[in-house]
Amino acid sequence: MRPRIEATGFGWMQIDGKRYAKDVLIRPSGEIEKRRKKLSKKLFGTSHRMSLEEAEHVLPGPADLLVIGTGQYGRLTLTEEARDHFQSLDCEVRVLPTPEALEEYNRARGEVAGLFHLTC
């Protein structure tokens, strides 16, 4: 059963009653883990751009949908290489500010993954 995201605010997200204070990755299996933003930060000096290496970690295989929460103010962006990776998996990607992304994630059906930046 897919986790339900209940709420978010600057620097936090609550999923199934548990509060997270780090960026969150939810796999299609429902497994929740910390975002490995260092994969992008080492290349760009910031975690506000998603690299190909991070994209490959986020979604190593097929999914119907990937919902990306870009932060409370929408700062996270995808590189063209990251977008190409998701497209090569025939995965639809919806990129929204995190408060809107959690609603999209909760409404989605099928094999769904989510990546949520929790601050800016």
pLDDT, tens digit, for every residue of 32-69? 999 999 999 999 999 999 999 999 999 999 999 999 99
pLDDT at 37: 95
- Model confidence pLDDT, tens digit, residues 101-120: 999 999 999 999 999 999 99
* C-alpha distance from residue 108 to each of 10, 33, 52 (Å): 23, 20, 25
Kindly state the tokens that stand for 70: 């870009």
CA-based nearest residue to 88, from 46, 115, 113, 59? 59
The whole-number pLDDT of residue 1 equals 82
What is the structure's pLDDT at 72? 96
What pLDDT does 113 receive?
A: 98
User: What domains are there in the chain, each with its CATH number?
Assistant: 21-116 (3.40.1230.10)
pLDDT, residue 10, reads 97
Residue 28, pLDDT score: 96
